[in-house]
């Protein structure tokens, strides 16, 4: 019988040379799925993300951001400019299955760890890189930072209302999308390696990933004469969708409305003025007029009142919840999405688990992020470095 404690990537060794978010998040997902991840860090300071605070929140000397991205990993401290440390890392590479790095193009080559060199050391290695804008071209030296990638990608022109300036998304969406794409590429190469025995090179960039995230709307742009997206002037939720798509204030909160028949919505909300928009094309061309009517009407009653009318009719809608409200719901509780991690005898920290389930199993691990070089001695002994 299969081992009930086994995870899909058990037995794989990942070397994580990356810092900040995109690369480490990819390594984290592999760790969640069972891979052993050794984080290669500079002695003393380690990953710069250790000091990159979110709301000035830190735990046991490192930022909670670092803790959340680097849980369930080991830390091996190595000065990659030192011949002795480079030699030790090379020996680790000969044993590894995956190497992840997100330095600017050319840095790993200068350090002696190019894809070609690492493949020479280990032909079965999957070598995975994240850059800001690709490995060539005029933007190759631009900082690969999330807000900057969002800004050049066109994404910021999809958010907010028509009269607002370009608005960035409130998450590191470029980093996180590139991370997910990198994991997809790594797993594809590992599957191929199982057939051919050969490793591979995986490359993802923040810009390409955030462009792919927009593929629905950029396809419209490419086939619509190159016209810019036209954001709604009222409660814009999607520049390419008609009314009622958006978020509306109610008497005590907010209500999200997705796609649906406008006349039918008028019936359910007892708003006769919507009956005059029977032609679906009007739901886009006159969306702001429709939304103005909804804004005034929905503000007159509480959210629960509108949900009681819309949900039984299967009209696509939802209450807008805060994190505190979501965490208090039974729907969130049954997901069992929260976990507690701890660094040895240090303080515990709450975070979220891997979002995947395989064979019905949720993947959690209580092992917290490592201190800089915490496992160097043990790893040197184990691998005879």
- Does the annotation count 62 as an active-site position? no
- Catalytic residue (choose from 146, 175, 314, 336): 175
3-state secondary structure of 80: coil
User: For the packed helices 215-222 and 206-213, what is the interaxial angle rounded to 10 degrees?
Assistant: 80
Cα separation of 43 and 384, whole Å?
Answer: 20
Residue in the structure block whose two tokens are 């009222």: 234
Residue 347 main-chain phi, psi, to 5 deg: -70, 155
3-state secondary structure of 277: coil
Residue 261 main-chain phi, psi, to 5 deg: -65, 130
Cα separation of 289 and 66, whole Å?
Answer: 47
Structural contact between residues 101 and 17, judged by C-beta atoms closer than 8 angstroms = yes
Structural contact between residues 67 and 59, judged by C-beta atoms closer than 8 angstroms = yes
C-alpha dihedral sign at 274, 275, 276, 281: positive
Catalytic residues: 175
């Amino acid at each position: 019988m299969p081992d009930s404690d086994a995870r899909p990537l058990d037995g794989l060794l990942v070397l994580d040379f990356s810092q900040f978010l995109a690369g480490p998040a990819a390594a984290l997902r592999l760790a969640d799925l069972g891979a052993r991840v050794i984080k290669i860090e500079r002695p003393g300071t380690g990953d710069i993300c250790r000091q990159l605070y979110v709301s000035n929140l830190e735990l046991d000397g490192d930022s909670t951001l670092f803790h959340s991205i680097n849980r369930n990993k080991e830390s091996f401290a190595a000065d990659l400019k030192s011949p002795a440390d480079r030699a030790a890392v090379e020996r680790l590479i000969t044993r590894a299955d995956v190497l992840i790095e997100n330095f600017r193009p050319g840095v790993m080559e200068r350090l002696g760890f190019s894809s070609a060199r690492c493949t020479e050391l280990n032909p079965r290695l999957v070598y995975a890189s994240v850059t800001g804008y690709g490995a060539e071209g005029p933007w190759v030296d631009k900082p690969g930072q999330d807000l900057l990638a969002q800004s050049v990608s066109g994404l910021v022109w999809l958010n907010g209302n028509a009269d607002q300036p370009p608005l960035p998304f409130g998450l590191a969406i470029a980093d996180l999308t590139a991370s997910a794409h990198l994991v997809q590429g790594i797993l594809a190469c590992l599957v191929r390696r199982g057939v051919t025995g050969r490793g591979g090179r995986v490359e993802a960039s923040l810009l390409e990933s955030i462009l792919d995230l927009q593929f629905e709307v950029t396809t419209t742009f490419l086939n619509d004469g190159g016209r810019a997206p036209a954001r709604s002037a009222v409660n814009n939720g999607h520049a390419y969708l008609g009314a009622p798509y958006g978020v509306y204030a109610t008497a005590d909160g907010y209500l999200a409305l997705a796609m649906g028949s406008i006349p039918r919505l008028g019936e359910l909300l007892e708003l006769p003025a919507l009956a005059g928009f029977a032609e679906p094309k009007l739901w886009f061309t006159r969306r702001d007029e429709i939304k103005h009517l909804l804004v005034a009407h929905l503000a007159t009653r509480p959210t629960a009142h509108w949900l009681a009318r819309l949900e039984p009719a299967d009209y696509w809608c939802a209450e807008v919840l805060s994190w505190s409200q979501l965490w208090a719901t039974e729907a969130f509780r049954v997901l069992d999405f929260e976990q507690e991690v701890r660094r040895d005898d240090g303080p515990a920290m709450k975070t979220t688990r891997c979002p995947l389930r395989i064979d019905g199993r949720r993947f959690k691990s209580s092992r917290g992020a490592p201190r800089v070089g915490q496992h160097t001695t043990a790893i040197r002994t184990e691998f005879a470095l």
